[in-house]
Structure 1
Amino acid sequence: MENLTAVVRVSCTVFSVLMRVMLAVMFAIFIALVITRYFFSYSPSWSEEVSRFLLVWISMLGAAVLVVYQDHFALHMLVQKLSPKMKLVHSLVVQMVILIVCAVVFYYGIFFAFDARDVFASGSGLSMFWPKLSIPVGMGLMIFYVLVSIVDIIRLLGGAEQSIVPPQTLFMDSTFRQTEGEATTSQQEGRST
């Protein structure tokens, strides 16, 4: 299990760094676009397309990393009322549904990307294969991370003491999940109104 933890840690680190680099490139393109537009009255035709393609890749890689932490935006009101064991069962069911959806999108995403090999973006001249490839790549990564999450949940249901998933704070500054203190405060505020 230590090997799986190491793979998750290294892959999340690589994707986090890669997303930061892509974001920095997007920022540089936007700054260059503003400078060329307002000082030279010139807007490179490729700048908007490349930025959009980078944003798609950032979104798909970020979504994959969120899957391993089960941290996509969700409603947690009802789940918070479950017992710890039932929360794990709920997580297992949700992960199974996500696995099925990701597998279907992955399958069709491969055809979607390869069908666009001969289609080229008008401004940048890039093959549309590259931005569309983000779909099967992102879904493939999500499938891997969902499987890791399922293994982790099954281990925890079986009585394992510790999660095999490295701490989320290594890769992200925030979470969509409420902390226990926030949940208690929200419940008290709901009762007082």
Structure 2
Amino acid sequence: MTAVLVLLSMQVIGRYALGWSFAWIEEVSRFFFVWAVYFGFVVAAAKDRHIRVSVQIMMLPPLGQKVMLTIADLIWLVFNGIVVWFGSIYIADMFQFPVISQTTGINLVWVQMIVPLGFLLMSIRVIQVMIRRWTDAETTVIDTRLDD
């Protein structure tokens, strides 16, 4: 996010104060922003802070909460596996048939690679949370509306 802030600040200052502008700055800042969003997903998954409706789960006893959260996480892992699988196929195709960025001239595979990579990293974090949920004394659902 710092890179996005610096690049966009350079673009604004350059355009309005200095009278110059580079088209590649906006495109590169978008690339950095997409990567930052996916890494944010990974951080949220590591802290078990992803979006969920938890009211009905909080009404269950602690063991029921663990079971329901584990079932939900297993479904999430299946979805992540599908995204990683088909995302990897897509990335392999992009290496074989490159799509080149208009302003930077780079192969967009390096930008798109965050999709399977991000979902793979999220899956690792979800597995870690599941293990922690069953081995630690953590017994209640984390309310995602509250800060740590």
Query: Structure 2 length normalisation: TM-score?
Result: 0.86
Q: Kindly provide the amino acid, as one letter, of the partner of residue 122 in structure 2.
A: M
1:147 aligned to which of 117, 121, 127: 127
Match of 1:33 in 2: 11
> Deviation of residue 116 (structure 1)?
2.5
Letter aligned with residue 56 of structure 1: V
- Which position in structure 2 is the counterpart of 1:127? 107
Alignment of 1:1-193 (within 5 A): 23-117=1-95, 118-155=98-135, 160-161=136-137, 176-178=144-146
How much does 1:46 deviate?
0.7
Cα deviation for residue 106 of structure 1 reads: 0.5
What corresponds to 1:184 in structure 2? none
Pairs aligned (count): 142
Once residues 24 and 32 of structure 1 are traced to their aligned partners in structure 2, the CA distance between those partners, rounded to angstroms, is 12
Q: Distance in 2 between matches of 1:120 and 1:43?
A: 21
Cα distance in 2, alignment partners of residues 84 and 138 from structure 1: 31
Deviation of 1:42 after TM superposition, in Å, equals: 2.6
3-state SS of 1:52 partner: helix
Q: How far has the Cα of 1:99 moved from its partner?
A: 0.5
Shift of 1:52: 1.0
Q: Distance in 2 between matches of 1:75 and 1:143?
A: 20
SS in 1 for 2:85: helix
Distance 1:42 1:176 in 2: 44
Q: 1:32 deviation in Å?
A: 0.4
* Structure 2 residue identity aligned to 1:96: L
Deviating above 3 A after TM superposition, structure 1's stretches of 4 or more consecutive aligned residues are 160-163
Please state whether the residue corresponding to 1:140 is helix, strand or coil: helix
Aligned-partner residue type, residue 99 of structure 2: V
Q: For structure 1, list consecutive stretches of 5 or more residues without a partner in the other structure.
A: 1-22, 164-174, 180-193
Kindly state the Cα deviation for residue 63 of structure 1 after the two structures are TM-superposed.
0.6
Q: Whose relative contact order is higher, 1 or 2, with alpha carbons under 8 Å and at least 6 apart?
A: 2
Using structure 1 for the length normalisation, give the TM-score: 0.67
Hey, what's the Cα distance between the residues in 2 that align with 1:32 and 1:93? Answer: 47
Percent sequence identity is: 23
